[in-house]
Amino acid sequence: MATTMRTQYREELERLEASALDGLNLVNTALERTLEAIEHTDVELAQIVVADDDRIDGRYLEVHQSLITLLATQSPVATDLRLISALLHVLKNVERMGDQCVNICKLLPLTGNEPPADDRMVELILAMGKQTRTLIAQAKRAFAERDVEQARDLVKQDDLVDDLNRQCFRLALEIGEDIDRREWSMTMLLAARAIERIADNAVDIGEQVAFVVTGLFREFEDASHPTP
């Protein structure tokens, strides 16, 4: 096999992959701040997360446009085509994960300055967030290393998040009669749900890893037809 060809194209594709995956770092930072804002009821930090989402959206737009340009000008095929298709998905996931952080942070002012928080529920949500941050990092690594096993393992890691989410729900049911406390717990359930969705997006990225490597797209877990 003779000389390497299309050097600029290859470099551009590598740069765009790195840039798209770096979007996951931005999301991880946003989620970290979101969790801190929840833990300390820090409304100002929450506002920073909302404002900073522009960076994630900007990354989405910039890389998306460059990928479309590559499609138009370079006619990528085979693995390159699958990679670009997967990166377009990853970008969408990154953008949605950022939006979920924004959703949570917009909820926080509604709980008031000194909400009637339940420590057990806050602990559960922080644990969910921590586990989700692990998933995001693992999804990024799996993609960069084209590691299907690591990608598949995301499903197991996501099960832990789902389990914590269910615990949150049970806790909300048992939160008691106090109306403020009940309102707070409902808001926190929405936050838990948003984190759970972020983790699902990380699993989706794992599915794209499998697509890039094998050329076959299969949902790791089909929510509409769950395995018994």
Partner 1 sequence: MDARDSRRNQAMTEPNPDPQTNPQIGSETAGPTISVAAAESGRGRRPRAATGTVELQGLSAYYGSNHAVRGVDLSFDAEEVTAIIGPSGCGKSTMVRCINRMHEEVEGARAEGKVLLDGLDLYDPRIDIVAVRRAVGMVFQKPNPFPTMSVFDNVVSGLRLTGAARGEMDDRGREALVGAGLWDEVKDRLKSPGVGLSGGQQQRLCIARALAVEPEVLLMDEPCSALDPVATLKIEELIGELKERVTIVIVTHNMQQAARVADTTVFMLGGALVEVGPTDKLFTTPDDERTEQYVTGKFG
Binding site for partner 1 (CB under 8 A): 1-6, 9-10, 75-82, 214-215
Q: Which is nearer to partner 1, 83 or 202 (CB)?
A: 83
Q: Which is nearer to partner 1, 11 or 163 (CB)?
A: 11
Smallest distance, partner 1 to C-beta of residue 7, A: 10
Smallest distance, partner 1 to C-beta of residue 5, A: 5
CA distance 217 to 215: 7
How many other C-beta atoms can be found within 10 angstroms of the C-beta atom of residue 144? 13
Element (H, E) at 153: helix 148-173
Smallest distance, partner 1 to C-beta of residue 84, A: 11
Smallest distance, partner 1 to C-beta of residue 79, A: 6
Q: Which is nearer to partner 1, 50 or 81 (CB)?
A: 81
How many other C-beta atoms can be found within 10 angstroms of the C-beta atom of residue 50? 17
The answer to whether 132 and 192 are in contact (CB under 8 A) is: no
Q: Which is nearer to partner 1, 2 or 223 (CB)?
A: 2
Beta-carbon contacts of 84 under 8 Å, excluding residues fewer than 6 positions away, are 13, 67, 70, 71, 76
The encoded tokens of residue 30 equal 């946003």
Smallest distance, partner 1 to C-beta of residue 3, A: 7
Query: Cα–Cα–Cα angle for 67, 68, 71, nearest 5°?
Result: 90
The answer to whether 206 and 144 are in contact (CB under 8 A) is: no
Q: Output DSSP code: residue 174.
A: T
Q: Which is nearer to partner 1, 68 or 190 (CB)?
A: 68
Smallest distance, partner 1 to C-beta of residue 27, A: 29
Nearest Cα to 96, choosing from 201, 23, 22?
Answer: 201
Q: Which is nearer to partner 1, 8 or 113 (CB)?
A: 8
CA distance 54 to 66: 18
